[in-house]
Structure 1
């Protein structure tokens, strides 16, 4: 048996395997970007923050703390992780820092937010 052949079938489609590997390699950066974003969005609080930033365009940590009923330091930790993950950006206005989603991340997240909004609409109809 061929060392590279791990399937129990008699003949592996080596061309298909090669093409699939090439597809994965060609899209390695996109997989890395989406995987990182989904890892951050996998936390319910961060997903809510991302949703709120999409809905409101930008919010400060105090607003997010009030909305989510959390402390400002707890919100700040989540914002730091998202900023380090290149998901959000900030701007300063005087003493206040406002956070918003980066546009490239927003394109990836919008389908998820539409799903959330659609689920809410379905529950209202019941």
Structure 2
């Protein structure tokens, strides 16, 4: 890639360091991008929030909580599971879903913001 900065005194060292940082973290950017892409849907974000709060829920619980049909909830759960954001555990006929532990550190800061905004509006 050519040096394309039009400034007369571009910091070539800075540009190189930044490129190296991006290259070194490319896998993390890909993983975070996939998680945020899935969480970018309001229903899936609500599901992820509920799974973090309650630790695990079944599609029937989510259907009742969200006021959605079980097939609609299941479609979102399939996408989250395909994206490797949630995992499933079967107990008899019931499947319980939970967040994958490795994604909690990425998602918890977002959920804290949601909870803080909720607390702030209660005190207004």
TM range, normalised to the smaller chain?
over 0.9
Shift of 1:5: 2.3
Q: Within 5 Å, which residues of 2 pair with 1:1-126?
A: 4-126=2-124
TM-score (norm 2): 0.97
TM-score (norm 1): 0.96
The 1-side partners of 2:6 and 2:26 are apart by: 28
RMSD: 0.9
Give the Å deviation of 1:6: 1.6
How many angstroms apart in 2 are the aligned matches of 1:122 and 1:22? Answer: 41
**Contiguous gaps of at least 5 residues in structure 2:** none
